[in-house]
Amino acid sequence: MTLAYLDKVLGVLRGVELLYFSYAVLLYFVMTALYALRLQIILLRLGIRISFFDSFVANQLSVAFNNLTPSFRVVGEGARAGYVYLRVGGRLIGVLAAIVFDKIVEALPLVTLAVIVLPESLSTTSSTIYTFLAIGISIAGIVVAILYWDRVVNWLIEKARKRGYHVEVSGLERRALESLMRDKLLVAIGISISFAAWLVLALRLYLVALSIGWEVKFYDAVLLTVAYTVINIFTITPGGVGVIEASLTGLFMALGAPADKALAASLVERLISYGIGTAAGIVLGLITGGWELWRRMRRRPREAQGKGEAHS
């Protein structure tokens, strides 16, 4: 990476079209709002009432935790479940089941999008590789989630018990968990919202490309969404720092963007998804007490253990 190349990238960044950039930022929060609506509906199906705002905060806190921890999104999902549980109460098993079901219906439309863009991607070798990778991983993940989702919930319960929480699952609650997968209307609503969210992400990436002066077909933006999502799931650095930027740059170049514009586009996207997303999560956490709720949840098992030792 030469100084001349970096200078060209900086030149592209200085010329970012603010209107397109502003729309891209707006779509980021539209996508979060769709996630919030989906989680709110799932929780209501389990009899757990949560406001749209609290659901929005829970999702944004999850983003902040995922961006700050190298844990394959596990810490972020824990933060989301913890915020909901401590904010509105309800049975912990119900909250955990809602989170697991939420991730299942989020993944299903991704396969559909991958299949839609597959014929077009066959025209270029690099795009084909990314598409087949996305399809393979997505299908495998969905099959595992559908077949073993109850085991995933049990694993989460066991982790909660090890942290000192008393979690019991009655027959009625077990039937309620299983009913989520049998509720055709809920599945249809969840998948529809997820599909809309993925298209919003594709539109955001399309606007990011336009903001740096590179015209890309929306079809390619959908393909980019599939590959980008798969890469984002399996990064090992906090928030995928370094890995995602390099991968995004390669993806943009594979779709025909010049090297300088490809790097500039990846930096603009990461400014939105990582910079603004993390900042929004931190600010909302401070305003709503979300960070304090998370600290309380982490302290509670230790406090319970201390009280038990005092009584013994």
Q: Tell me which of 58 and 104 has the higher pLDDT.
A: 58
User: Does the pLDDT value for residue 124 go beyond 70?
Assistant: no
**What does the alpha-carbon distance between residue 47 and residue 98 come to, in Å, rounded to a whole number?**
11
pLDDT at residue number 229: 77
- How far CA 14 is from CA of 10, 88, 268, in Å, comes to 6, 45, 11
- Contact residues for 134 (Cβ-Cβ < 8 A; gap 6+): 110, 114, 226, 227, 229, 230
**pLDDT digits 0-9 by tens, 33-74:** 999 999 999 999 888 889 999 999 999 998 888 888 765 556
Q: Are 161 and 105 in contact (CB under 8 A)?
A: no
Residue 173: give the domain boundaries. Answer: 3-311
Q: Are 150 and 245 in contact (CB under 8 A)?
A: no
Q: Are 24 and 265 in contact (CB under 8 A)?
A: no
Domain count along the chain: 1
- Contact residues for 306 (Cβ-Cβ < 8 A; gap 6+): none
User: Does the pLDDT value for residue 10 go beyond 60?
Assistant: yes
